[in-house]
Amino acid sequence: MALIITDECINCDVCEPECPNGAISQGEEIYVIDPNSCTECVGHYDVPQCVEVCPVNCIVTDPDRIENREQLLAKYHALITGAERAPQE
């Protein structure tokens, strides 16, 4: 499951730095989560860190992106592998 940020977001800026995958960024009006990078912190933490710090509870499961723990872990490994294969400067 990827997470989404609802329109109840108050742009408090606390979620973005908590995401270990860099999946959260400022959108046109509110913060947004890239579903291709969101692993719900699987591989990093036991619970999604953005959900833990959100003061208005506006980060919820995306009903269009239902993934189980194994799928999230596979996505995490793919993200890590892709990062390791980045060209060296």
The HSE-up count of residue 68 (CA atoms within 13 Å, CB side) is 1
**Residue 52 in tokens:** 């833990």
pLDDT at 86 over 90: no
What pLDDT is stored for residue 87 in this prediction?
47
Assess whether pLDDT exceeds 90 at residue 2: no
How many CA atoms does the CB half-sphere of 70 hold within 13 Å? 0
Question: What percent of the chain stands above pLDDT 70?
Answer: 92
In the chain, the domains with their CATH numbers are 3-84 (3.30.70.20)
What is the number of other CB atoms lying within 10 angstroms of the CB of residue 62? 16
Please write the tens of the pLDDT for every residue from 38-51. Answer: 999 999 999 999 99
Provide the 10 A C-beta neighbour count for residue 86: 7
For residue 88, what pLDDT is reported? Answer: 44
What do you get for the CA distance between the two ends of the chain, in Å?
34
Q: Are 79 and 21 in contact (CB under 8 A)?
A: yes
Q: Which residues pair with 60 in a beta bridge?
A: 4
